[in-house]
Chain A
Amino acid sequence: MAGNLDLYKEAFCETFEITEDALPGLKYQAIKAWDSVGHMALMAKLEDSFDIMMDTEDIIDFDSYEHGMEILKKYDVTF
């Protein structure tokens, strides 16, 4: 669903104030904004956007733009 992908991208772009072209391959700590503080903000934003509660294991495992999509599938968020 295109809707979910847009929401997913928007969470990254808004939290880190970056543009969509920076998203493919983006990893934790690859940009200054995605540090532990940014990570917490991103998780909060994703939980809000998709109305989910992520498990601890998934929050600490979430380490890239692509891996994040895999993780969200567990919460029935499909792309």
Chain B
Amino acid sequence: MWNLDKHKGSPALLDDKGDSVTYSDIAEESKAIGDKIGGRCVIFALCTNSIGSIVGYASFLENRIVPVMLSSEIDRNLLSDLDSKYRPAFYWAPSEMEFKGLEKVHEYKGYSLLRTGYERYDINPDTCVLLTTSGSTGNPKLVRQSYRNVLSNTESIIEYLGIDSSERPITILPFNYTYGISVVNTHLYAGATILVTDKSVMQKEFWTFFKEQGATSISGVPYTYEMLERLRFRNMKLDSLKTMTQAGGRLSESLQMKFGEYALSSGRRFFVMYGQCEATARMAYLPPEHVVDHCGFIGVAIPGGEFMLTDTDGKIIGSPNTAGELVYKGDNVTLGYALSKDDLTKGDERNGILHTGDIAERDEQGFYRIVGRMNRFLKVYGNRVNMDDVEKMVNREFSVDCACVGRDDHVVLCVVSDDSVNPRIIDFISQKTNINRIAISVRNIPEIPRNESGKISYKTLNDEVS
């Protein structure tokens, strides 16, 4: 999977505590983990930005062991829910986390390999890795990504970003997040050196590490760029920085202009990109020379991929500047979903075609721009939040009628009750989803507006509360 032999003694990962591992070290640890696990099975990987977490992941793929990529901060009840649905044979978790009844069989750089005692079961031979679909709203739906998906997307991203072994990206995104994984995949594959830190851009230690180790690239969701703007990033002296990438939702045009102009005038490259975990990670990128003249666009399909726009009858739209559903075709379109372990025997259900659920337009030059969304998702700090899931969670916990609306980076819960319950609802949702409470608000309404057929009129509601 990783050409570990090719890059041998060169440093693969370097952390902010002074520890580092080479590609040979990863190969060695991969053998040890492979021996301990002893064959194909599902493992829950509770991820952090740390050497142990990343080496574990690389080892699983090398040994055809299938990780479910989860945050180490996942709510424990949600974790036990997923556990009962997928019955993983092992866990790979930070050693300080406590798990009752699991047997520790191996340890490596702060991570423990824990045996659950669940029996192994058949997994489709193409399946490589499993990702959650909707942040952590407790929906057990996982995306099934194949070896071919991961490899083709990795090679394509390396090609358009021009990644080689001289790169030194610094970790900003969570490692269980599709965009975070793609940064790791592409740089390990290219033999680069990843600078690993769990610190945020709001911490001094992050920038000290950045400067000491000469980071060459950063990757961020829209919110990351808002934070960088607040830090007056564009005035910082960062000589080593060559490339900035952005994905995980729509960046405001004003920030795209500011960072775009900054990049163009300082000889750097700023890539605005578009993707979904259903397409492994990436589907489109805006060539950096167009970041200003095509501000607000997602650009063109990645190498090896292709876009189409379809109308409501599914017919392909040929004319420019006409909105339709964005449909993507490529080797990185994932196999499909799983709702429980029984679905893991399934093969490819999409045949390389993905209906993105986004409404887009194409201009005369062939650049695409997202103009709307067909489904009930919000992007909050780069994470997809399924509004229907949030409604169900509130309804189940508090026994109140609830309708969820909002905009990106802001979830609005409309509940039929007095306001005494509001703080508890915010606590609960923030706790369960790991979304900062600042992004959540509750409105108390007399009743949920519905249309004649009894369906919630989200549009009416959104107009009322926003």
Using CB atoms and an 8 Å cutoff, list the residues of chain A in contact with chain B: 15, 17, 28, 32-33, 35-41, 43-44, 56-57, 59-61, 63
Closest A residue, CB atoms, query B224? A36
* Residue in A32, A33, A57, A60 whose beta carbon sits within 8 Å of that of B202 in the complex: A60
Given the complex, which residues of A lie within 8 Å of B436, measured CB to CB?
32-33, 35, 37-38
The 5 closest A-B pairs by CB, nearest first: A36-B200, A37-B436, A36-B202, A60-B204, A39-B202
**Chain B nearest Cβ from A34, distance in angstroms:** 9
- Asked whether A35 and B200 contact (CB < 8 A) given A15-B438, A40-B227, the answer is yes
Closest to B204 in A: A60
Max chain B C-beta neighbours (<10 A), residue from A15, A28, A56: A56
- Given contacts A17-B423, A37-B381, could you give 6 more A-B pairs where the C-beta distance is less than 8 Å? A17-B426, A32-B436, A38-B436, A60-B207, A63-B203, A63-B204
Q: Kindly list chain A residues whose C-beta atoms are within 8 Å of the C-beta of B223.
A: 37
Whether B431 and A44, one on each chain, are in contact in the complex, defined by CB atoms closer than 8 angstroms, is no
Of B231, B423, B430, B431, which one neighbours A59 at CB under 8 angstroms?
B231
- A44 vs B226: C-alpha distance when bound (angstroms): 12
A38 to B435, CA, bound (A): 10
With a cutoff of 8 Å between Cβ atoms, the chain B residues found around residue A60 in the complex are 202-204, 206-207, 231
Contact (Cβ within 8 A) A56 B202: no
Closest chain-B Cβ to A10's Cβ sits at a distance in Å of 16
Question: What's the nearest-Cβ distance from chain B to residue A60, in Å?
Answer: 4
A43 to B219 alpha-carbon distance, docked (Å): 23
Task: Check A59–B230 contact: CB distance below 8 A.
Answer: yes
Q: Whole-angstrom distance between the alpha carbons of A63 and B204 in the complex?
A: 9
Q: In the complex, A36→B197 CA distance in Å?
A: 14
Chain B residues with Cβ under 8 A from A17's Cβ? 423, 426, 437
Asked if residues A40 and B203 are in contact (CB atoms below 8 Å), the reply is: no
- Complexed CA–CA distance, A15 and B223 (Å): 18
Tell me if A56 and B232 are in contact (CB < 8 A): yes
